[in-house]
Structure 1
Amino acid sequence: MSNLFAPHYQQMLVANITNEPNNLSANTVSEASDVNDALFIYRNNYIETGIRALSITFPTVLALLGEDAFRNIAKLYLIKHPKDCFDWADYGAMFSAYLFDIDALADTPYIPEVAELDWRLSTIERQQDIDFDADSFALLQNYDAAKLNFVPAPGLQVMNVYFPVQELYSLVHHASPEENEHTKAEGIKNLKILIHSAINNPVLRSIVLWREHYKALFEYCEQMPAKAFESMVNESSVEQVLASFGDDQAAMSQWLQQHIGTRKIYAIATRNKTT
Protein backbone atom coordinates (compact mmCIF):
# COMPACT_ATOMS: atom_id res chain seq x y z
CA MET A 1 0.00 0.00 0.00
CA SER A 2 1.21 3.53 -0.76
CA ASN A 3 2.14 5.91 2.04
CA LEU A 4 -1.11 7.29 3.55
CA PHE A 5 0.76 10.35 4.79
CA ALA A 6 1.79 11.45 1.31
CA PRO A 7 0.43 14.89 0.29
CA HIS A 8 -2.16 13.51 -2.14
CA TYR A 9 -3.63 11.28 0.57
CA GLN A 10 -3.85 14.26 2.93
CA GLN A 11 -5.59 16.19 0.16
CA MET A 12 -8.06 13.38 -0.39
CA LEU A 13 -8.69 13.06 3.35
CA VAL A 14 -9.75 16.71 3.65
CA ALA A 15 -11.80 16.55 0.45
CA ASN A 16 -13.64 13.44 1.60
CA ILE A 17 -14.31 14.69 5.11
CA THR A 18 -15.78 17.96 3.88
CA ASN A 19 -17.36 16.31 0.83
CA GLU A 20 -15.64 18.78 -1.49
CA PRO A 21 -14.60 17.97 -5.07
CA ASN A 22 -10.88 17.44 -5.62
CA ASN A 23 -8.48 17.32 -8.53
CA LEU A 24 -6.86 14.01 -7.75
CA SER A 25 -5.78 11.92 -10.71
CA ALA A 26 -7.65 8.74 -11.60
CA ASN A 27 -4.54 6.75 -10.71
CA THR A 28 -4.38 8.29 -7.25
CA VAL A 29 -8.06 7.63 -6.63
CA SER A 30 -7.57 4.03 -7.68
CA GLU A 31 -4.62 3.65 -5.33
CA ALA A 32 -6.68 5.04 -2.48
CA SER A 33 -9.81 2.95 -3.05
CA ASP A 34 -8.88 0.66 -0.18
CA VAL A 35 -9.21 3.51 2.31
CA ASN A 36 -12.54 4.87 1.04
CA ASP A 37 -14.52 2.94 3.61
CA ALA A 38 -12.29 4.21 6.38
CA LEU A 39 -12.67 7.77 5.12
CA PHE A 40 -16.45 7.38 5.05
CA ILE A 41 -16.45 6.23 8.67
CA TYR A 42 -14.03 9.01 9.62
CA ARG A 43 -16.21 11.63 7.92
CA ASN A 44 -19.35 10.43 9.66
CA ASN A 45 -17.52 10.41 12.99
CA TYR A 46 -16.27 13.96 12.32
CA ILE A 47 -19.79 15.17 11.54
CA GLU A 48 -21.43 13.46 14.52
CA THR A 49 -18.72 14.57 16.94
CA GLY A 50 -18.98 18.11 15.58
CA ILE A 51 -22.76 18.23 15.91
CA ARG A 52 -22.50 16.98 19.48
CA ALA A 53 -19.84 19.58 20.29
CA LEU A 54 -21.88 22.41 18.77
CA SER A 55 -24.98 21.28 20.68
CA ILE A 56 -22.99 21.55 23.93
CA THR A 57 -21.66 25.00 23.07
CA PHE A 58 -25.00 26.30 21.74
CA PRO A 59 -27.64 24.67 23.98
CA THR A 60 -30.11 27.57 23.74
CA VAL A 61 -30.01 27.55 19.95
CA LEU A 62 -30.52 23.78 20.00
CA ALA A 63 -33.59 24.11 22.21
CA LEU A 64 -35.13 26.95 20.20
CA LEU A 65 -34.58 25.34 16.79
CA GLY A 66 -35.26 21.73 17.73
CA GLU A 67 -32.87 18.82 17.23
CA ASP A 68 -33.57 18.11 13.55
CA ALA A 69 -33.14 21.69 12.36
CA PHE A 70 -30.06 22.17 14.55
CA ARG A 71 -28.43 19.00 13.19
CA ASN A 72 -28.98 20.07 9.58
CA ILE A 73 -27.56 23.56 10.16
CA ALA A 74 -24.65 22.25 12.24
CA LYS A 75 -23.72 19.74 9.53
CA LEU A 76 -23.61 22.47 6.88
CA TYR A 77 -21.49 24.63 9.18
CA LEU A 78 -19.05 21.77 9.81
CA ILE A 79 -18.59 21.31 6.07
CA LYS A 80 -18.21 25.00 5.29
CA HIS A 81 -15.99 25.74 8.32
CA PRO A 82 -13.86 22.63 8.97
CA LYS A 83 -12.40 22.28 12.46
CA ASP A 84 -8.98 23.95 12.66
CA CYS A 85 -8.46 23.82 16.44
CA PHE A 86 -7.37 21.04 18.77
CA ASP A 87 -10.24 21.21 21.26
CA TRP A 88 -13.86 20.97 20.10
CA ALA A 89 -14.72 23.43 22.89
CA ASP A 90 -12.86 26.09 20.89
CA TYR A 91 -14.84 25.37 17.73
CA GLY A 92 -17.83 27.49 16.70
CA ALA A 93 -16.55 31.07 16.73
CA MET A 94 -18.17 31.76 13.34
CA PHE A 95 -21.43 29.93 14.04
CA SER A 96 -23.51 32.99 14.98
CA ALA A 97 -22.33 34.89 11.88
CA TYR A 98 -23.03 31.83 9.72
CA LEU A 99 -26.63 31.72 10.93
CA PHE A 100 -27.31 35.10 9.32
CA ASP A 101 -26.93 33.40 5.93
CA ILE A 102 -29.47 30.63 6.59
CA ASP A 103 -32.64 31.47 4.66
CA ALA A 104 -34.67 29.02 6.74
CA LEU A 105 -34.09 31.25 9.79
CA ALA A 106 -35.70 34.32 8.23
CA ASP A 107 -38.71 33.92 10.53
CA THR A 108 -36.50 33.61 13.63
CA PRO A 109 -34.05 36.53 13.22
CA TYR A 110 -33.14 36.42 16.92
CA ILE A 111 -31.30 33.09 16.58
CA PRO A 112 -27.90 34.59 15.61
CA GLU A 113 -27.89 36.84 18.69
CA VAL A 114 -28.81 33.89 20.90
CA ALA A 115 -25.97 31.91 19.30
CA GLU A 116 -23.54 34.75 20.02
CA LEU A 117 -24.71 34.75 23.64
CA ASP A 118 -24.24 30.97 23.92
CA TRP A 119 -20.73 31.26 22.45
CA ARG A 120 -19.68 34.03 24.82
CA LEU A 121 -21.01 32.19 27.87
CA SER A 122 -19.15 29.06 26.80
CA THR A 123 -15.84 30.89 26.36
CA ILE A 124 -16.24 32.80 29.64
CA GLU A 125 -16.65 29.57 31.60
CA ARG A 126 -13.26 28.41 30.29
CA GLN A 127 -11.38 31.57 31.28
CA GLN A 128 -8.50 31.24 33.72
CA ASP A 129 -9.61 31.78 37.30
CA ILE A 130 -8.36 34.66 39.46
CA ASP A 131 -8.75 35.43 43.16
CA PHE A 132 -11.14 38.05 44.50
CA ASP A 133 -9.08 40.54 46.51
CA ALA A 134 -11.34 42.44 48.92
CA ASP A 135 -8.41 44.17 50.66
CA SER A 136 -7.26 45.80 47.42
CA PHE A 137 -10.28 48.12 47.35
CA ALA A 138 -8.63 50.16 50.11
CA LEU A 139 -6.39 51.53 47.35
CA LEU A 140 -9.33 53.67 46.23
CA GLN A 141 -8.89 55.77 49.37
CA ASN A 142 -5.10 56.00 49.32
CA TYR A 143 -4.10 56.33 45.66
CA ASP A 144 -4.74 58.68 42.78
CA ALA A 145 -7.54 57.09 40.72
CA ALA A 146 -5.60 57.92 37.55
CA LYS A 147 -2.91 55.49 38.71
CA LEU A 148 -5.24 52.58 39.45
CA ASN A 149 -6.99 49.90 37.39
CA PHE A 150 -10.09 47.85 38.04
CA VAL A 151 -9.49 44.09 37.78
CA PRO A 152 -12.62 42.66 36.12
CA ALA A 153 -14.12 39.23 36.72
CA PRO A 154 -12.84 36.49 34.42
CA GLY A 155 -14.20 36.99 30.92
CA LEU A 156 -16.16 40.14 31.76
CA GLN A 157 -17.43 41.77 28.56
CA VAL A 158 -20.28 43.78 27.08
CA MET A 159 -22.52 42.55 24.27
CA ASN A 160 -25.04 44.67 22.36
CA VAL A 161 -28.32 43.11 21.21
CA TYR A 162 -31.61 44.04 19.58
CA PHE A 163 -33.64 41.00 20.56
CA PRO A 164 -34.80 39.87 24.04
CA VAL A 165 -32.04 37.30 24.42
CA GLN A 166 -32.28 37.20 28.21
CA GLU A 167 -35.97 36.28 28.00
CA LEU A 168 -35.29 33.70 25.29
CA TYR A 169 -32.49 32.20 27.37
CA SER A 170 -34.73 32.07 30.44
CA LEU A 171 -37.48 30.37 28.42
CA VAL A 172 -35.08 27.51 27.72
CA HIS A 173 -33.01 27.27 30.90
CA HIS A 174 -35.10 28.73 33.72
CA ALA A 175 -38.59 27.47 33.00
CA SER A 176 -40.15 26.11 36.16
CA PRO A 177 -41.93 22.73 35.96
CA GLU A 178 -44.43 24.09 38.49
CA GLU A 179 -45.63 26.79 36.09
CA ASN A 180 -49.19 26.21 34.93
CA GLU A 181 -50.12 26.29 31.26
CA HIS A 182 -51.71 29.74 31.54
CA THR A 183 -48.51 31.25 32.99
CA LYS A 184 -46.40 29.61 30.29
CA ALA A 185 -48.74 30.85 27.58
CA GLU A 186 -48.62 34.40 28.94
CA GLY A 187 -44.83 34.29 29.05
CA ILE A 188 -44.60 33.14 25.43
CA LYS A 189 -47.15 35.76 24.39
CA ASN A 190 -45.12 38.54 26.02
CA LEU A 191 -41.94 37.19 24.45
CA LYS A 192 -43.53 37.32 20.99
CA ILE A 193 -44.48 40.94 21.63
CA LEU A 194 -40.88 41.77 22.54
CA ILE A 195 -39.56 40.03 19.42
CA HIS A 196 -42.12 41.81 17.22
CA SER A 197 -41.12 45.13 18.77
CA ALA A 198 -37.42 44.43 18.17
CA ILE A 199 -38.11 43.72 14.50
CA ASN A 200 -40.30 46.76 13.88
CA ASN A 201 -38.68 49.26 16.24
CA PRO A 202 -35.12 48.05 16.89
CA VAL A 203 -33.39 49.51 19.93
CA LEU A 204 -29.85 48.46 20.81
CA ARG A 205 -29.45 47.24 24.39
CA SER A 206 -26.36 46.24 26.34
CA ILE A 207 -25.69 43.05 28.25
CA VAL A 208 -22.81 42.54 30.66
CA LEU A 209 -21.41 39.02 30.90
CA TRP A 210 -19.07 37.70 33.59
CA ARG A 211 -18.19 34.59 35.55
CA GLU A 212 -18.96 33.99 39.19
CA HIS A 213 -16.99 31.02 40.47
CA TYR A 214 -17.29 28.66 37.47
CA LYS A 215 -20.69 29.79 36.20
CA ALA A 216 -21.05 32.33 33.39
CA LEU A 217 -23.78 34.89 34.05
CA PHE A 218 -25.26 37.87 32.23
CA GLU A 219 -27.77 40.66 32.69
CA TYR A 220 -29.02 43.76 30.92
CA CYS A 221 -27.38 47.03 31.88
CA GLU A 222 -28.08 50.67 31.17
CA GLN A 223 -26.01 52.99 29.01
CA MET A 224 -23.72 54.52 31.67
CA PRO A 225 -22.89 51.22 33.42
CA ALA A 226 -22.26 49.59 30.02
CA LYS A 227 -19.87 52.41 29.09
CA ALA A 228 -18.06 51.97 32.42
CA PHE A 229 -17.72 48.20 31.89
CA GLU A 230 -16.38 48.70 28.37
CA SER A 231 -13.85 51.22 29.66
CA MET A 232 -12.81 48.79 32.40
CA VAL A 233 -12.36 45.93 29.92
CA ASN A 234 -10.20 48.24 27.78
CA GLU A 235 -7.92 48.69 30.83
CA SER A 236 -8.69 52.36 31.31
CA SER A 237 -7.78 53.88 34.65
CA VAL A 238 -10.24 53.95 37.53
CA GLU A 239 -10.52 57.68 36.94
CA GLN A 240 -11.50 57.16 33.29
CA VAL A 241 -13.94 54.37 34.10
CA LEU A 242 -15.74 56.42 36.72
CA ALA A 243 -15.86 59.40 34.34
CA SER A 244 -18.49 57.37 32.44
CA PHE A 245 -20.99 58.59 35.07
CA GLY A 246 -20.20 62.28 34.61
CA ASP A 247 -21.37 64.28 37.61
CA ASP A 248 -23.81 61.61 38.79
CA GLN A 249 -22.06 60.62 42.01
CA ALA A 250 -25.03 58.58 43.23
CA ALA A 251 -25.02 56.42 40.09
CA MET A 252 -21.26 55.97 40.34
CA SER A 253 -21.42 54.88 43.99
CA GLN A 254 -24.30 52.52 43.29
CA TRP A 255 -22.42 50.96 40.37
CA LEU A 256 -19.32 50.40 42.49
CA GLN A 257 -21.19 48.88 45.43
CA GLN A 258 -23.42 46.70 43.29
CA HIS A 259 -20.73 45.26 41.05
CA ILE A 260 -18.13 44.71 43.71
CA GLY A 261 -20.89 42.89 45.58
CA THR A 262 -21.81 40.78 42.55
CA ARG A 263 -18.11 40.21 41.82
CA LYS A 264 -17.97 41.73 38.40
CA ILE A 265 -15.06 43.73 39.81
CA TYR A 266 -12.48 41.45 41.45
CA ALA A 267 -9.83 43.86 42.65
CA ILE A 268 -8.02 47.18 42.33
CA ALA A 269 -4.46 47.25 41.03
CA THR A 270 -1.86 49.93 40.45
CA ARG A 271 -1.31 50.72 36.79
CA ASN A 272 1.84 49.47 35.12
CA LYS A 273 1.42 51.62 32.03
CA THR A 274 0.45 55.15 31.17
CA THR A 275 -2.43 56.21 28.94
Structure 2
Amino acid sequence: MKNTAMNSTAKTNPMVESALHDTDYQQYLLNEIFSFSKSTALPNEGLSIYQNNLLMTALRSLSISYPVIESMIGDHALYVLTRRLLDMDKPASGDWAEWGSKLSTCLFNSELYESYPYLPDIANVEWAFHTASRSEALAFDSNSLQRLSNSDLEDIRCILSPSVSLLPSAYPQYQLWKAHRSIESGQVPNNSVLETIMKNIDKAEHCIVYQHNGMAKVEVLTEEKLHWMQGVQEGISVASLLDIYPTFDFALWLSEAISKAWLTRLD
Protein backbone atom coordinates (compact mmCIF):
# COMPACT_ATOMS: atom_id res chain seq x y z
CA MET A 1 0.00 0.00 0.00
CA LYS A 2 2.75 2.44 0.96
CA ASN A 3 4.92 1.82 -2.11
CA THR A 4 1.92 1.99 -4.46
CA ALA A 5 0.84 5.35 -3.07
CA MET A 6 4.38 6.74 -3.30
CA ASN A 7 4.87 5.58 -6.90
CA SER A 8 1.49 6.85 -8.03
CA THR A 9 2.08 10.26 -6.46
CA ALA A 10 5.56 10.58 -7.92
CA LYS A 11 4.23 10.12 -11.46
CA THR A 12 1.71 12.91 -11.17
CA ASN A 13 3.39 15.40 -8.85
CA PRO A 14 6.72 17.02 -9.88
CA MET A 15 7.37 18.19 -6.31
CA VAL A 16 7.30 14.65 -4.93
CA GLU A 17 9.15 13.25 -7.97
CA SER A 18 11.98 15.66 -7.24
CA ALA A 19 11.96 14.75 -3.56
CA LEU A 20 12.23 11.05 -4.37
CA HIS A 21 15.75 11.70 -5.66
CA ASP A 22 16.68 13.59 -2.52
CA THR A 23 18.17 11.89 0.53
CA ASP A 24 15.85 14.05 2.65
CA TYR A 25 12.72 12.56 1.10
CA GLN A 26 11.87 10.49 4.18
CA GLN A 27 12.02 13.54 6.43
CA TYR A 28 10.07 15.55 3.85
CA LEU A 29 7.37 12.89 3.81
CA LEU A 30 7.22 12.74 7.61
CA ASN A 31 6.80 16.51 7.76
CA GLU A 32 3.93 16.29 5.28
CA ILE A 33 2.28 13.49 7.22
CA PHE A 34 2.57 15.21 10.59
CA SER A 35 1.54 18.63 9.32
CA PHE A 36 -2.13 17.63 9.03
CA SER A 37 -2.39 20.45 6.51
CA LYS A 38 -4.17 20.77 3.17
CA SER A 39 -0.92 20.38 1.31
CA THR A 40 -1.20 19.34 -2.33
CA ALA A 41 2.13 17.52 -2.20
CA LEU A 42 0.26 14.29 -1.46
CA PRO A 43 -3.44 13.48 -1.97
CA ASN A 44 -5.54 13.88 1.19
CA GLU A 45 -6.52 10.22 1.04
CA GLY A 46 -2.87 9.23 0.84
CA LEU A 47 -2.00 11.45 3.78
CA SER A 48 -4.76 9.88 5.87
CA ILE A 49 -3.41 6.41 5.13
CA TYR A 50 0.14 7.42 6.03
CA GLN A 51 -1.01 9.24 9.16
CA ASN A 52 -2.92 6.22 10.40
CA ASN A 53 -0.07 3.84 9.58
CA LEU A 54 2.42 6.04 11.42
CA LEU A 55 0.09 6.38 14.39
CA MET A 56 -0.25 2.60 14.65
CA THR A 57 3.52 2.17 14.29
CA ALA A 58 4.10 4.78 17.01
CA LEU A 59 1.57 3.08 19.27
CA ARG A 60 3.26 -0.29 18.84
CA SER A 61 6.63 1.31 19.54
CA LEU A 62 5.42 2.88 22.80
CA SER A 63 3.80 -0.38 23.91
CA ILE A 64 7.20 -2.07 23.49
CA SER A 65 9.19 0.68 25.23
CA TYR A 66 6.57 1.28 27.95
CA PRO A 67 4.87 -2.05 28.77
CA VAL A 68 4.23 -1.03 32.39
CA ILE A 69 2.64 2.28 31.43
CA GLU A 70 0.44 0.44 28.92
CA SER A 71 -0.59 -2.00 31.66
CA MET A 72 -1.32 0.83 34.10
CA ILE A 73 -3.34 3.17 31.86
CA GLY A 74 -4.76 0.82 29.21
CA ASP A 75 -4.76 0.74 25.42
CA HIS A 76 -7.16 3.65 24.85
CA ALA A 77 -5.27 6.11 27.05
CA LEU A 78 -1.97 5.09 25.44
CA TYR A 79 -3.52 5.67 22.00
CA VAL A 80 -4.53 9.21 22.99
CA LEU A 81 -1.09 9.91 24.45
CA THR A 82 0.57 8.56 21.31
CA ARG A 83 -1.28 11.11 19.17
CA ARG A 84 -0.27 13.91 21.52
CA LEU A 85 3.32 12.75 21.66
CA LEU A 86 3.55 12.66 17.87
CA ASP A 87 2.30 16.25 17.79
CA MET A 88 4.95 17.45 20.26
CA ASP A 89 7.88 15.21 19.33
CA LYS A 90 8.31 13.92 15.79
CA PRO A 91 10.64 10.94 15.25
CA ALA A 92 14.12 12.09 14.30
CA SER A 93 15.09 8.87 12.52
CA GLY A 94 13.62 5.76 10.97
CA ASP A 95 14.39 3.77 14.13
CA TRP A 96 11.22 3.94 16.22
CA ALA A 97 13.06 2.47 19.21
CA GLU A 98 14.82 5.85 19.52
CA TRP A 99 11.50 7.72 19.76
CA GLY A 100 9.35 8.20 22.84
CA SER A 101 11.62 9.78 25.45
CA LYS A 102 9.12 12.58 26.15
CA LEU A 103 6.22 10.37 27.19
CA SER A 104 6.82 11.36 30.82
CA THR A 105 6.31 15.02 29.84
CA CYS A 106 3.17 14.05 27.96
CA LEU A 107 1.86 12.27 31.06
CA PHE A 108 2.74 15.24 33.27
CA ASN A 109 0.66 17.51 31.02
CA SER A 110 -2.24 15.06 30.71
CA GLU A 111 -5.51 14.70 32.60
CA LEU A 112 -4.09 11.60 34.27
CA TYR A 113 -1.49 13.51 36.28
CA GLU A 114 -3.84 14.99 38.88
CA SER A 115 -5.09 11.58 39.99
CA TYR A 116 -1.93 9.59 39.23
CA PRO A 117 1.05 11.92 39.76
CA TYR A 118 3.50 9.00 39.88
CA LEU A 119 2.95 8.04 36.22
CA PRO A 120 5.68 10.36 34.81
CA ASP A 121 8.20 8.79 37.20
CA ILE A 122 7.23 5.28 36.08
CA ALA A 123 7.65 6.42 32.48
CA ASN A 124 11.13 7.71 33.29
CA VAL A 125 12.07 4.33 34.76
CA GLU A 126 10.75 2.55 31.68
CA TRP A 127 12.59 4.79 29.21
CA ALA A 128 15.83 4.48 31.19
CA PHE A 129 15.39 0.69 31.24
CA HIS A 130 14.68 0.69 27.49
CA THR A 131 17.76 2.78 26.65
CA ALA A 132 20.01 0.87 29.07
CA SER A 133 19.07 -2.38 27.34
CA ARG A 134 20.23 -0.86 24.05
CA SER A 135 23.41 0.75 25.41
CA GLU A 136 26.88 -0.41 24.51
CA ALA A 137 28.54 -2.38 27.29
CA LEU A 138 31.65 -0.56 28.54
CA ALA A 139 34.19 -2.32 30.75
CA PHE A 140 35.76 -0.50 33.68
CA ASP A 141 39.32 0.70 33.05
CA SER A 142 41.08 -1.02 35.94
CA ASN A 143 44.32 0.84 35.20
CA SER A 144 42.60 4.07 36.21
CA LEU A 145 42.52 2.84 39.82
CA GLN A 146 46.20 3.79 39.99
CA ARG A 147 45.06 7.40 40.26
CA LEU A 148 43.99 6.68 43.84
CA SER A 149 47.65 6.25 44.81
CA ASN A 150 49.21 8.64 42.29
CA SER A 151 46.89 11.66 42.55
CA ASP A 152 45.15 13.80 45.15
CA LEU A 153 41.47 13.03 45.67
CA GLU A 154 40.75 16.64 44.70
CA ASP A 155 41.97 15.78 41.22
CA ILE A 156 40.03 12.52 40.87
CA ARG A 157 36.56 12.23 39.38
CA CYS A 158 34.47 9.12 38.89
CA ILE A 159 33.03 8.69 35.40
CA LEU A 160 29.62 7.04 35.22
CA SER A 161 28.68 4.64 32.45
CA PRO A 162 26.45 6.20 29.75
CA SER A 163 23.85 3.53 30.56
CA VAL A 164 23.37 4.86 34.11
CA SER A 165 20.26 6.90 34.92
CA LEU A 166 19.58 8.33 38.37
CA LEU A 167 15.87 8.71 39.01
CA PRO A 168 14.67 10.39 42.22
CA SER A 169 10.98 10.15 43.04
CA ALA A 170 8.55 11.12 45.76
CA TYR A 171 6.64 7.87 45.12
CA PRO A 172 7.37 4.12 45.40
CA GLN A 173 8.25 3.99 41.72
CA TYR A 174 10.28 0.79 41.92
CA GLN A 175 7.53 -1.17 43.65
CA LEU A 176 4.94 0.03 41.13
CA TRP A 177 7.23 -0.73 38.19
CA LYS A 178 8.18 -4.17 39.50
CA ALA A 179 4.59 -5.14 40.36
CA HIS A 180 3.47 -4.49 36.78
CA ARG A 181 6.67 -5.66 35.09
CA SER A 182 6.52 -9.13 36.63
CA ILE A 183 3.10 -10.06 35.23
CA GLU A 184 1.96 -11.22 31.81
CA SER A 185 1.10 -8.62 29.16
CA GLY A 186 -2.49 -7.43 29.46
CA GLN A 187 -2.79 -8.55 33.10
CA VAL A 188 -2.87 -6.47 36.28
CA PRO A 189 -1.11 -7.13 39.60
CA ASN A 190 -2.91 -8.84 42.46
CA ASN A 191 -5.18 -6.43 44.34
CA SER A 192 -3.47 -7.11 47.65
CA VAL A 193 -0.09 -6.21 46.13
CA LEU A 194 -1.42 -2.92 44.76
CA GLU A 195 -3.23 -2.10 48.01
CA THR A 196 -0.02 -2.55 49.98
CA ILE A 197 1.86 -0.24 47.61
CA MET A 198 -0.89 2.39 47.50
CA LYS A 199 -1.07 2.56 51.29
CA ASN A 200 2.49 3.91 51.15
CA ILE A 201 2.12 5.92 47.96
CA ASP A 202 3.84 8.95 49.53
CA LYS A 203 6.98 6.95 50.35
CA ALA A 204 9.90 8.26 48.29
CA GLU A 205 11.83 5.66 46.33
CA HIS A 206 14.91 6.58 44.29
CA CYS A 207 16.20 4.34 41.51
CA ILE A 208 19.28 3.69 39.47
CA VAL A 209 18.91 2.10 36.04
CA TYR A 210 21.99 0.65 34.37
CA GLN A 211 23.30 -2.13 32.14
CA HIS A 212 25.23 -5.04 33.61
CA ASN A 213 26.39 -8.12 31.73
CA GLY A 214 24.29 -7.16 28.73
CA MET A 215 21.07 -6.74 30.72
CA ALA A 216 19.23 -3.65 31.95
CA LYS A 217 18.88 -3.48 35.73
CA VAL A 218 16.80 -1.37 38.13
CA GLU A 219 17.66 -0.95 41.81
CA VAL A 220 16.56 1.24 44.68
CA LEU A 221 19.10 3.78 45.96
CA THR A 222 19.26 5.26 49.43
CA GLU A 223 18.95 9.02 49.54
CA GLU A 224 22.58 9.30 50.62
CA LYS A 225 23.80 7.19 47.70
CA LEU A 226 21.55 9.08 45.28
CA HIS A 227 23.00 12.44 46.35
CA TRP A 228 26.55 11.11 46.13
CA MET A 229 26.01 9.77 42.63
CA GLN A 230 24.30 12.96 41.51
CA GLY A 231 27.47 14.74 42.59
CA VAL A 232 29.54 12.23 40.63
CA GLN A 233 27.31 12.84 37.61
CA GLU A 234 27.89 16.59 37.94
CA GLY A 235 31.66 16.06 37.81
CA ILE A 236 32.43 16.93 41.43
CA SER A 237 35.78 15.59 42.64
CA VAL A 238 36.02 12.77 45.18
CA ALA A 239 37.58 15.11 47.76
CA SER A 240 34.80 17.68 47.39
CA LEU A 241 32.14 14.99 47.65
CA LEU A 242 33.72 13.68 50.84
CA ASP A 243 33.66 17.22 52.24
CA ILE A 244 29.94 17.38 51.49
CA TYR A 245 29.20 13.83 52.71
CA PRO A 246 31.92 13.12 55.33
CA THR A 247 30.29 9.90 56.60
CA PHE A 248 29.89 8.35 53.14
CA ASP A 249 31.83 5.09 52.69
CA PHE A 250 33.62 5.85 49.42
CA ALA A 251 35.65 2.63 49.36
CA LEU A 252 32.55 0.45 49.78
CA TRP A 253 30.64 2.40 47.13
CA LEU A 254 33.58 2.26 44.70
CA SER A 255 33.72 -1.52 44.99
CA GLU A 256 29.98 -1.78 44.34
CA ALA A 257 30.08 0.72 41.47
CA ILE A 258 32.84 -1.21 39.71
CA SER A 259 31.24 -4.62 40.24
CA LYS A 260 27.89 -3.41 38.89
CA ALA A 261 29.42 -1.53 35.93
CA TRP A 262 28.21 1.87 37.11
CA LEU A 263 31.65 3.35 36.35
CA THR A 264 33.87 3.31 33.30
CA ARG A 265 36.99 4.85 34.87
CA LEU A 266 38.51 7.27 37.36
CA ASP A 267 39.53 10.47 35.67
Structure 1, 164-173 or 213-222: larger mean CA deviation: 213-222
Cα distance in 2 for partners of 1:205, 1:165 equals: 6
* CA displacement 1:110-151 (0-9 Å, x = unmatched): 211111221222223333332223343243233322222223
Cα distance in 1 for partners of 2:139, 2:31 equals: 47
> Is 2:192 the counterpart of 1:186?
yes
Cα distance in 2 for partners of 1:191, 1:42 equals: 42
Find the residue that maps to 1:64 and give its secondary structure. Answer: helix
Cα distance in 1 for partners of 2:108, 2:156 equals: 41
Find the residue that maps to 1:125 and give its secondary structure. Answer: helix
Structure 1, 141-150 or 60-69: larger mean CA deviation: 141-150
Shift of 1:175: 4.7
Shift of 1:21: 4.3
What's the RMSD between the two structures over aligned residues? 3.3
Structure 1, 212-221 or 91-100: larger mean CA deviation: 212-221
- Give the alignment's TM-score, normalised by structure 1: 0.75
2:96 maps to which of 88, 94, 110: 88
Contact conserved, 2:208 with 2:220, CA < 8 A, in 1? yes
* CA displacement 1:66-86 (0-9 Å, x = unmatched): 223222321332234333344
Contact conserved, 1:231 with 1:240, CA < 8 A, in 2? no
Cα distance in 1 for partners of 2:263, 2:89 equals: 36
1:101 maps to which of 92, 109, 115: 109
Aligned to 2:34: 18
Percent identical across equivalent pairs? Answer: 20
Shift of 1:51: 0.8
> Is 2:167 the counterpart of 1:151?
no
* CA displacement 1:211-240 (0-9 Å, x = unmatched): 213322232222332222112222232323
Contact conserved, 1:154 with 1:211, CA < 8 A, in 2? no
Shift of 1:160: 1.7
Shift of 1:253: 3.2
Contact conserved, 1:110 with 1:163, CA < 8 A, in 2? yes
Cα distance in 2 for partners of 1:231, 1:253 equals: 16
Find the residue that maps to 1:128 and give its secondary structure. Answer: coil
Shift of 1:161: 0.9
Q: Structure 1's 87 and 242: CA in aligned 2 closer, same or farther, altered over 3 A?
A: farther
Cα distance in 2 for partners of 1:80, 1:224 equals: 36
Shift of 1:59: 1.7
Shift of 1:152: 1.9
Residue type at the aligned position of 2:219: E
Aligned to 2:133: 125
Runs of 5+ in structure 1 lacking a partner?
177-182, 270-275
Find the residue that maps to 2:116 and give its secondary structure. Answer: coil
Shift of 1:168: 0.8
Contact conserved, 1:224 with 1:244, CA < 8 A, in 2? no
Structure 1, 126-135 or 58-67: larger mean CA deviation: 126-135
Find the residue that maps to 1:92 and give its secondary structure. Answer: coil
Structure 1, 98-107 or 39-48: larger mean CA deviation: 98-107
Cα distance in 2 for partners of 1:105, 1:150 equals: 36
Contact conserved, 1:150 with 1:235, CA < 8 A, in 2? yes
